Structure 1
Amino acid sequence: MLLRFRVANALSLRDEQELSFVVPQGEDPATARALKLSDGKTLDVYPLLGIFGANASGKSNVLSSLKKMREAVLKSYTGWGSHKPVPRERFALDPHSADENTFYEADFVLEDGVRWTYGFELSDIRVEAEWLHAYPKGRRQEWLDRDASRDREFHFPGERIQDRALLARTTRSNALLLSRAAADNHPQLSRIHRWFFDNLWDIDPEAERLQREAYTTERLQDPEVRSRIEELLRVADLGITGTRVDQRPGTDRPVVRLIHAAGEGEGVAIAWERESFGTRSWYALLGPLLLALDEGAVLLVDELDSSLHPRFAAEVVRLFHDPLVNPKGAQLVFTSHDPSLLSAPSGGRLLDPGQIWLTEKDSHGATELYPLTAAEPGEDEDLTRSYLEGAFGGIPTLTAGQIGRRLLMARATEVERT
């Protein structure tokens, strides 16, 4: 389970920013889960976070940074060339950022309840630092301390890691030691590497939709999964009563048709190409979403509302909130423009203030990420209304009619030139 993520000098995130699933002390939201740690204590954690903000405010870059960290862990040893620059995307609007490291750090808890902190810093040419800490009894244990500026780059406090000399000798300057260890199935570090492999799955509704459609169709082969997919299609009120999967002649790829209600008959199977974009987007999301719930994984969904009706998006939120549907503690981080997700249609709040994070860009183009709790909303405050009124920030700084006036000014200027 992911607790916190920190990042600096990546994409539009120039200064260090933090995204946290941990419920602040003194709060007791109904949506929180009590996570049991290996030292016997419990920690209240949110099952999902929503990031809201204006266009180009950097909310998608928060998810992209999580994805970049995962990619570095999985690919730095086998995918980064030995003599090529480190593939980082630092903050581009400040020339001084080129001389500063890109920083990533994640706090997470494995199945045995042990909390871990893993992080690293990258320059254009090498891994500048890397560290790994464990908290099996509530107090920090240092496992790895790497610093490229030292004569002895790798230090293993407590000598807890096996094959230390081999790892230090065979880890390239532009690769992470964690990636190198996983390549040989290291008995201790592979489980840390595996956490990144099993989590931080990225979904962009506008990209790779065909692959997700194919994956959802593949999961229909499992009768138990099929029943859940069909139920989620029905509950979305799309007029769908079931699915039919046919084998395409000459290929191994099955073709799915959704069965739509037709009076008192058995229903009509509609060709996939005739389904609406919203229906196809919802269908494409179901396979990865159910897999995340089954595995207890962390799912990243960019622009949850971009191709889904607000009702569908709200149902996704409810799935992760429901402990019966989400017994393994799967987590979701999503971005959205839709302020209706802040409130339930029947009144009340769909998300607690601690689950709502906002992004804004400063005058230098750098993104600031902060929780809604920083604005101290009232206990009974209408979050949707206050958000739209700009009380919390995170919305475009536009006045009514401003865009139209700008167009008229531009047209007048062009006429004068001619």
Structure 2
Amino acid sequence: MLESFRASNFASFKDEIYITTLCNSSRKELIKTNTFECRNNRYNKVTYIFGANGSGKTNLFLALNKLRQIIVMSTVIGSKSNKILEVPIIKKELNSPIENFKFDSDSKYKPTLFGVDIIIDEILYSYEFEILDGKIISELLTKKNKRKEVLIKRTSPSFEDIILRSDLAKFKSNVNVVRENSLCLAMAALLNNKLANDIINEIMGIDIINMANMNGNTRFNEENTNEEFIQRYLDILKSVDPTVKNLIIDLKENGDIPIDEDDEFQSKDVIIKNIRVDVSSVHDVYKEHKKVSEVELPFLKYESNGTIKLFGILPSIFEALDTGGVLFIDELENGLHPLVVEFIIKLFNDTSINPKNAQLICSTHNTLLLEKCRRDQVWFMDKNEYGESKLSRLSDFLNIRKNDNISEKYLKGVFGAIPKF
């Protein structure tokens, strides 16, 4: 599970941007439905990010995706596979500088920081690193159960300046494989250090979706297209299109590398396998309202854009709910009816459907959601005249009464993070 994420000197984030799912313990509203307990703390199941267009909301998702890409690139570098290294998009990624903050003359000389706090088996792991000109400047991994313990401490690009302790001490004999442009934790995982593998898998298991760029079939695989999953998809799709009686999903492997250079959210680990997904929907054909036959139609051609988007995110939603995973969705309501969005939120808040405490972090403009959540679930992204994005939490605002209309106050600009016409 995810406790928090942070980044600095990236895109519109000059200073450190920080978001957490940790609850404000003084707030008791909706505590049984919207939160869950872990490590003697309470955490939100759903977290919302509001903000004007261009405020930097998407940059938060891009920052998390960039952290994951750097992990993947570290393993690619470490694998020394010429075939993979020669893939054009991989070469482009390796040669691309980090998109640092552009509106300060000193930012290009400063490192970019990414950090994530995750919980595995009731233990908090905090991992962060700084990168400048493609080199890892620092790297820190700590573990906290009853007390805080440093597992990795790196103070320069050189492997000679890496200190390893406890569960990572076994990697000392191989630490020389860590290059100046690769992460120590990723290399330890590549060489089968168990804890490193667990942490990397937890981070890479976070799913990130950009609803504005959904094509309806990117999340399907052999595991989530069996009869059980198809029935789960149907149960939901029938509520938005009652004519859909069945789905036929056909997976076909291609030999080409499935990377879209224009999709900044696409994880580079998709180079491992290219699967084309063909989806057809089955509908009844009637004569005078009596069924006479069936017709099979190409799903992506005949269904609405909203239905296609809903269908496209269902595998990720069920994956998170079934495993207790973490799902990031940018522009959740993009193409979806407000009641569909509300239904998705209810899936995560329903203990019977979400017994493993899956988490959803989403950006949205749907102000109706502000009236059905805890105040510590809501974050506002705002950008100032200097191009700096800032995050603030609704629960940190003073003089907000329990019965206040939060949606109305937000649209009036009380919390900022709205267009200024």
Q: TM class, shorter-chain normalised? A: 0.7 to 0.9
> Is it true that 1:335 corresponds to 2:343 in the alignment?
no
Superposition RMSD in Å: 2.8
Residues 375 and 266 of structure 1, relative CA distance in 2, 3 Å threshold: farther
The alpha-carbon distance between structure 1 residues 233 and 210, as it changes in their structure 2 partners (threshold 3 A), is: closer
Partner of 1:33: 35
* Aligned mate of 1:370, from 392, 396, 403: 392
Give the conservation status (yes or no) of the 8 Å contact 2:171–2:188: no
Confirm whether residue 93 of structure 1 aligns to residue 103 of structure 2.
Answer: yes
Gaps of 5+ in 2: 79-84, 86-90, 255-275
Determine if the alignment matches structure 1 residue 172 to structure 2 residue 179. Answer: yes
2:248 matched residue in structure 1 = 245
SS in 1 for 2:198: helix
Looking at structure 2, the residues matched to 248 and 165 of structure 1 have their Cα atoms a distance apart, in angstroms, of 43
8 A contact 1:52–1:335 mirrored in 2: yes
Task: Give the number of the structure whose residues are more often strand, by fraction.
Answer: 2
Q: How does 1:120-199 map to 2 (within 5 A)?
A: 120-136=129-145, 138-148=146-156, 152-156=160-164, 158-199=165-206
Whether contact under 8 Å (1:73, 1:196) holds in the other structure is: no
Tell me how far apart the structure 2 counterparts of residues 33 and 294 of structure 1 sit (CA, whole Å): 17
User: Aligned-pair distance for 1:335?
Assistant: 0.9
Structure 1 residue 210 displacement after superposition: 3.9
In structure 1, the partner of 2:49 is 51
Find 1:211's aligned residue among 207, 217, 223.
217
Distance 1:148 1:85, change over 3 A: farther
Structure 1 residues 14-23 or 374-383, which shifts more?
Answer: 374-383
Equivalent position of 2:408 in the other structure: 385
1:47-77 alpha-carbon deviations (Å, 9 max, x no partner) = 1111111010001111111111122223223
- Match of 1:358, SS state, is strand
User: Quick one: distance in 1 between partners of 2:403 and 2:225?
Assistant: 47
CA separation in 1, counterparts of 2:407 and 2:282?
35
Query: Is the alpha carbon distance of 1:92 and 1:61 closer, same or farther for their aligned partners in structure 2, counting shifts above 3 Å?
Result: same
Q: What is the aligned partner in structure 1 of residue 64 from structure 2?
A: 66
Tell me if structure 2 keeps the 8 A contact 1:129–1:147. Answer: yes
What percent of counterpart residues are identical?
25
Corresponding residue for 2:265?
A: none
User: How far off its partner does 1:270 sit?
Assistant: 6.5
Tell whether the 8 Å contact from 2:4 to 2:20 is kept in structure 1 after alignment: yes
Structure possessing the higher radius of gyration over alpha carbons: 1
Q: 1:301: which partner in 2?
A: 329
Closer, same or farther: CA 230–203 of 1 in aligned 2, 3 Å:
same
Question: Does 2:76 match 1:78?
Answer: yes
Deviation of 1:2 after TM superposition, in Å, equals 0.3
TM-score in terms of structure 1 length: 0.83
- CA deviation digits over 1:161-189, x for unaligned, max 9? 23343343110011100111111111331
1:225 to 229, 250, 267: 229
* Offset of residue 152 of structure 1: 4.9
- Per the alignment, in what secondary structure is the counterpart of residue 68 of structure 2? helix
Deviation at 1:248, TM superposition (A): 10
- Whichever residue aligns with residue 134 of structure 1, its letter is K
Deviation sequence 1:193-224 (CA, Å, 0-9, x none)? 1111212x111123241433x728x6674222
> Is the aligned partner of 1:202 residue 2:208?
yes
Contact 1:51 1:358 in 2 (8 A): yes
Residue in structure 2 matched with residue 119 of structure 1 by the alignment:
128
Match in the other structure for 2:81: none
From the superposition, tell whether residues 382 and 260 of structure 1 become closer, same or farther in structure 2 (CA, over 3 Å). farther
- Deviations 1:121-154 (Å, cap 9, x if unpaired)? 1111410110111112x21011111101899511
Alpha carbons 2:50, 2:379 under 8 Å: kept = yes
Question: Which residue is equivalent to 2:262?
Answer: none
Contact 1:244–1:259 under 8 Å retained in 2: no
CA 1:397 to 1:268, structure 2 compared with 1: closer, same or farther past 3 Å?
Answer: farther
Match of 1:122, SS state, is: strand
What secondary structure, in the 3-state scheme, does the structure 2 residue paired with 1:14 have?
coil
Q: Distance in 2 between matches of 1:9 and 1:87?
A: 12
The CA deviation at 1:160 is 4.1
When residues 395 and 248 of structure 1 are mapped into structure 2, their CA distance, relative to the original with a 3 A threshold, is closer
Work out whether residues 151 and 167 of structure 2, in 8 Å CA contact, stay in contact via their aligned partners in 1. yes
CA distance in 1, matches of 2:419, 2:141: 40
